[in-house]
């Protein structure tokens, strides 16, 4: 725990007003640079002296990063748009109701007033061994303290872990994957657009990073195409307390049905795997099936195939199964209502 | 920093000048020393021309007043308010965005002042608990609600709760009890006095609508 009334160790602060200046500063300071969005993940690292960047590049003064624009038939949400702004945005609410539901489930009102959507999808893992500065795999060491016989791993992954068993803590990540969002990234070599699904990486790809962003890269916007506009959405976040807590498990889905049968489905979860997980097997397996209890049951069982719980997170297996069931059935229930 | 820089030409000058001129120089450099705080200002200003660099001396708008303050780069708003501007009504509880005791309004929106850099609120309107009451000392309707209902036990969390409520009521002036509970759910009370607090805040909302 941080020492109360302690001061964050010194760093050089930059507040560029254009993306170009921000990129130039990132290039100049290289590995010593830290990108600051809302700061709610960053300040814990700084105050605890676990991460000590020499140069903090605060994006808060770059106006174009906090705009929501209509592009083509979709929307482009600037990376510095706060979660509260996302929740309140009329077009987002009208067409992509899944996203405001997920954004509103994040932390507390004050945190949503300051935390940004770009920060929410780029935040670091919450594993307490890692956050407390233990020299684990993710921190460059050669052990995972959570995955040991006495490890505290109630919140950790049951799928796709590779040495590190931490999960991605984002609530908006599964919603963006379901909406087929595109992440707009500025790199020193130009602009790059990647699918939300590919933005997040697991420890098998690079154990020290949560996203494909490399030092010097900047997430500038998130584009939401009209692919799933107006679909039937389902979002549920299970956590210990109703406010502040990160998800134990969350689920997001979008469904289009016709004649009582599932025509299109996208399903993603967070908190179960070492990265936000799209359940493609379930998506294809239920296509054309009627929306009913039987299909939901089948989907739930299919979802948990291959799950490997640790000592203290076995409850995540039935939780995952039931949330998938509810995502399939809940969408049906909402339409019937 | 500037002391050495200013001292060097003086020393080198002493060696090659007459006694009269030496005295003149001593007098002049005394004047320079006494105004050296001006030079300290001008040096960061020169650095600020680099893109994105920040100045140390900034002006904040706090409770309707322009306050000039010398701010470290890594300084949080809660620190500036309490230890530089003497506004100790804003409390620091957890100092890491987990308790809400430090809540202030930035452009009418509640924020945890412990978890934002003071440099990010330049040019914004900051309101703390000290800025709620009228110039004549008349309490804000939400503060009056606290008194009417004896809303708090120890009240360490009160400034944060009041600021969160005032901010929430700007977006929803007529909330249900459940809506208000959700709206101020970013604040904790260790006395577990939530029921009384909610009653007081609901009374505050009512007072505001009447006012």
Phi then psi for residue A300, to 5 deg, are -60, -45
pLDDT digits (tens, 9 = 90+) for A11-31: 999 999 999 999 999 999 999
Contact yes or no for A56 and B112 at CB 8 A: no
Domain assignment present for residue B165? The answer is: yes
* Whole-number Å distance between alpha carbons of B64 and B57: 19
Which residue is listed with tokens 């009504």? B89
Q: Which of A14, A25, A40 sits opposite B115 (nearest CB)?
A: A40
Contacts of B92 in chain A (CB under 8 A): 4-5
Q: Reply yes or no on whether the pLDDT at A159 is more than 80.
A: yes
Tell me the Cα Rg of chain A: 20
A132 in contact with chain B, both atoms CB, cutoff 8 A: no
Average the pLDDT over A47-55 and give the result. Answer: 94
**Domain residue extents for chain A:** 65-122+167-227, 231-336
Q: Count structural domains, chain B.
A: 3
How would residue B49 be classed by pLDDT, with cut points 50, 70 and 90? low
A55 in contact with chain B, both atoms CB, cutoff 8 A: no
Q: Which of A47, A58, A110 sits opposite B117 (nearest CB)?
A: A58
Do B85 and B62 belong together in one domain?
yes
Domain assignment present for residue B52? The answer is: no
* Whole-number Å distance between alpha carbons of A106 and A170: 8
Contacts of B117 in chain A (CB under 8 A): 13, 36, 39, 58
Domain assignment present for residue B92? The answer is: yes
pLDDT digits (tens, 9 = 90+) for B84-112: 999 999 999 999 999 999 999 999 999 99
Contact yes or no for A4 and B94 at CB 8 A: yes
Distance from the Cα of residue A314 to its chain's centroid: 22
Contact yes or no for A242 and B185 at CB 8 A: yes
In the DSSP assignment, the letter for residue B76 is B
Q: Domain range for residue B103? A: 57-131
> Beta-carbon neighbour count of residue A135 at 10 Å?
13
A11 in contact with chain B, both atoms CB, cutoff 8 A: yes
Q: Reply yes or no on whether the pLDDT at A333 is more than 60.
A: no
Q: Which of B96, B110, B112 sits opposite A47 (nearest CB)?
A: B96
Q: What is the mean pLDDT of chain A?
A: 95
CB of A296 closer than 8 Å to CB of A137:
no
Contacts of A108 in chain B (CB under 8 A): 100, 185-186
- Name the residue among B86, B83, B38 with its Cα closest to residue B65: B86
* Whole-number Å distance between alpha carbons of B37 and B207: 49
Domain assignment present for residue B71? The answer is: yes
A184 forms beta bridges with A193, A221
Write the CATH number of the domain with boundaries A231-336. Answer: 3.30.390.50
Q: Report the topology of domain A65-122+167-227.
A: 3.30.465
Do B17 and B82 belong together in one domain?
no
pLDDT of residue A83: 98
Whichever domain contains B152, its CATH number is: 1.10.150.120
Do B120 and B147 belong together in one domain?
no
How would residue B50 be classed by pLDDT, with cut points 50, 70 and 90? confident
The crossing angle, in degrees rounded to 10, of helices B141-149 and B158-171 is 130
Contacts of A11 in chain B (CB under 8 A): 73-74
Domain assignment present for residue B136? The answer is: no
Could you write out the DSSP letters of every residue in A104-143? HTSS-HHHHHH-BHHHHHHPPP--HHHHTT---GGGTSS-
Q: What is the mean pLDDT of chain B?
A: 85
Residues 6 or more apart from B135 whose CB is under 8 A from it?
none
pLDDT of residue A182: 98
Do B61 and B100 belong together in one domain?
yes
Whichever domain contains B114, its CATH number is: 3.10.20.30
Could you write out the DSSP letters of every residue in A27-58? HHHGGGEEEESS-TTHHHHHHTTS---SEEEE
Last residue of some domain: B131, B165, B191? B131
Contact yes or no for A113 and B110 at CB 8 A: yes
Interface of B with A in 54-83 (CB under 8 A): 54, 72-76, 79
State pTM to two decimals: 0.89
Phi then psi for residue A178, to 5 deg, are -65, -40
């Amino acid at each position: 725990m941080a020492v109360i009334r302690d001061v964050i160790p010194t760093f050089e602060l930059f507040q560029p007003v254009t993306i170009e200046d921000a990129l130039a500063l990132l290039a100049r300071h290289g590995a010593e640079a830290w990108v600051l969005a809302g700061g709610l993940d960053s300040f814990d690292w700084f105050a605890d002296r676990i991460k000590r960047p020499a140069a903090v590049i605060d994006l808060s003064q770059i106006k174009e990063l906090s705009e929501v624009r209509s592009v083509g038939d979709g929307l482009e949400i600037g990376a510095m748009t706060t979660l509260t702004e996302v929740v309140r945005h009329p077009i987002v609410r009208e067409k992509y109701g899944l996203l405001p539901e997920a954004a509103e489930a994040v932390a507390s009102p004050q945190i949503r007033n300051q935390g940004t959507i770009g920060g929410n999808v780029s935040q670091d893992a919450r594993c307490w061994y890692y956050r407390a500065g233990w020299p684990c795999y993710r921190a460059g060491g050669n052990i995972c303290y959570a995955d040991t016989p006495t490890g505290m791993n109630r919140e950790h992954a049951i799928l796709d872990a590779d040495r590190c068993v931490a999960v991605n803590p984002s609530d908006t990540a599964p919603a963006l994957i379901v909406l087929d969002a595109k992440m707009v990234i500025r790199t020193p070599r130009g602009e790059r657009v990647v699918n939300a699904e590919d933005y997040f990486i697991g420890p098998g790809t690079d154990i020290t990073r949560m996203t494909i962003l490399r030092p010097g890269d900047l997430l500038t916007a998130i584009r939401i195409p009209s692919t799933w506009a107006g679909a039937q959405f389902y979002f549920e976040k299970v956590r210990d307390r109703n406010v502040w807590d990160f998800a134990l498990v969350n689920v997001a889905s979008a469904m289009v049905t016709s004649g009582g049968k599932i025509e299109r489905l996208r399903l993603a979860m967070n908190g179960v795997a070492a990265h936000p997980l799209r359940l493609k097997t379930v998506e294809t397996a239920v296509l054309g099936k009627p929306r009913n209890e039987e299909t939901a049951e089948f989907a739930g069982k299919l979802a948990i195939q291959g799950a490997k719980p640790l000592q203290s997170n076995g409850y995540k297996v039935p939780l995952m199964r039931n949330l998938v069931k509810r995502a399939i059935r809940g969408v049906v229930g909402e339409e019937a209502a | 920093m500037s002391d050495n820089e200013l001292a060097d030409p003086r020393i080198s000058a002493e060696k090659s000048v007459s006694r009269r001129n030496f005295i003149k120089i001593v007098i002049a450099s005394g004047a320079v020393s006494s105004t050296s705080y001006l030079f300290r200002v001008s040096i960061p200003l020169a650095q600020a021309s680099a893109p994105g660099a920040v100045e140390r001396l900034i002006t904040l708008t706090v409770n309707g007043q322009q306050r000039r303050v010398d701010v470290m780069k890594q300084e949080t708003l809660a620190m500036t308010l309490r230890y530089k501007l003497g506004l100790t009504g804003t409390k620091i509880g957890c100092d890491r965005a987990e308790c809400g005791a430090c809540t202030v309004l930035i452009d009418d929106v509640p924020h945890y002042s412990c978890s934002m850099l003071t440099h990010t609120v330049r040019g914004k309107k900051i309101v703390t608990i000290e800025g709620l009451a009228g110039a004549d000392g008349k309490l804000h309707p939400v503060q009056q609600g606290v008194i009417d209902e004896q809303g708090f036990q120890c009240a360490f969390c009160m400034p944060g709760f009041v600021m969160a409520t005032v901010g929430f009521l700007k977006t929803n002036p007529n909330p249900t009890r459940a809506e208000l509970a959700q709206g101020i759910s970013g604040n904790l009370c260790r006395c577990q006095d939530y029921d009384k607090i909610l009653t007081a805040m609901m009374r505050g909302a009512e007072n505001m609508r009447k006012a």
